[in-house]
Chain A
Amino acid sequence: MSGLDKRVGSYEEALAGLTDNMTVLAGGFGLCGIPENLIAEIRRRGVSGLTVVSNNCGIDGFGLGVLLEDRQIRKMIASYVGENALFEQQLLSGELEVELTPQGTLAEKLRAGGAGIPAFFTATGYGTPVAEGKEAREINGRHYILEPAITGDFAIVKGWKADHFGNVVYRHTAQNFNPLVATAGRITVVEVEEIVEPGELDPAQIHTPGIYVDRIIQGRFEKRIEKRTLRG
Chain B
Amino acid sequence: MALTREQMAQRVARELKDGYYVNLGIGIPTLVANYVPEGIDVMLQSENGLLGMGAFPSEEEVDADMINAGKQTVTARKGASIFSSAESFAMIRGGHVDLTVLGAFEVDVHGNIASWMIPGKLIKGMGGAMDLVAGADNIIVTMTHASKDGESKLLKHCSLPLTGCGCIRKVLTDLAYLEIEGGAFILRERAPGVSVEEIVAKTAGTLIVPEHVPEMTF
Q: Which residues of A contact B (CB under 8 A)?
A: 29-33, 55, 78-82, 88, 91-92, 100, 102-108, 110-111, 122-130, 160, 171-180, 207, 223-232
Contacts and interface: CB of A to CB of B under 8 A. Distances in A.
Given A107-B84, A230-B57, A128 B164 contact: yes
A128 B58 contact: no
Interface of B: 46-50, 55-59, 62-74, 76, 82-86, 88-89, 92-93, 112, 117, 122-131, 134-135, 161-166
- Nearest 8 A-B pairs (CB), nearest first? A104-B89, A104-B131, A127-B165, A223-B64, A229-B72, A80-B125, A107-B85, A103-B128
Q: Select the residue from A31, A78, A106, A232 with max chain B CB neighbours within 10 A.
A: A106
A125 B130 contact: yes
B196 to A, nearest CB: 32
Contact of B82 (A111, A129, A173): A173
Given A173-B50, A229-B72, A125 B82 contact: no
A95 B195 CA distance: 52
Given A32-B71, A128-B161, A227-B72, 19 more contacts: A29-B85, A79-B126, A80-B126, A82-B123, A82-B125, A91-B122, A100-B123, A102-B128, A107-B88, A108-B93, A124-B135, A173-B46, A173-B48, A176-B85, A179-B84, A180-B84, A180-B85, A224-B64, A231-B57
Q: Select the residue from A81, A91, A127, A223 with max chain B CB neighbours within 10 A.
A: A127
Q: Select the residue from A171, A172, A224 with max chain B CB neighbours within 10 A.
A: A172
B92 to A, nearest CB: 6
Contact of A126 (B56, B58, B165): B165
Contacts of A105: 89, 130-131
B93 A177 contact: no
Nearest to B161: A129
A33 B82 CA distance: 13
A64 B127 CA distance: 17
B89 A79 contact: no
A20 B59 CA distance: 43
Contacts, number: 174
Contacts of B128: 79, 102-104
Contacts of A106: 85
A13 B29 CA distance: 47
B66 A107 contact: no
Contact of A225 (B46, B73, B131, B164): B73
Q: Is the interface of B mostly helix, strand, loop or mixed?
A: loop
Q: Select the residue from A31, A123, A128 with max chain B CB neighbours within 10 A.
A: A128
A1 B135 CA distance: 44
A162 B71 CA distance: 26
A192 to B, nearest CB: 13
28 contacts: A29-B49, A29-B85, A30-B71, A80-B124, A80-B126, A92-B122, A103-B127, A103-B128, A105-B130, A107-B84, A107-B88, A108-B89, A110-B86, A126-B164, A128-B162, A173-B46, A173-B49, A174-B64, A175-B83, A175-B84, A176-B84, A180-B86, A207-B84, A225-B73, A227-B71, A228-B62, A231-B58, A232-B56
B64 A32 contact: yes
B162 A127 contact: yes
B163 to A, nearest CB: 6
A227 B58 CA distance: 14
Q: Select the residue from B46, B70, B131, B165 with max chain A CB neighbours within 10 A.
A: B131
A227 B72 CA distance: 5
A55 B163 contact: no
B89 A107 contact: yes
B150 to A, nearest CB: 28
B84 A177 contact: yes
Contacts of B126: 79-80, 100, 102-103, 130
Contacts of B74: 229
A32 B92 contact: no
A129 B163 CA distance: 8
A31 to B, nearest CB: 8
A81 B58 contact: no
A174 B88 CA distance: 13
A224 B71 CA distance: 12
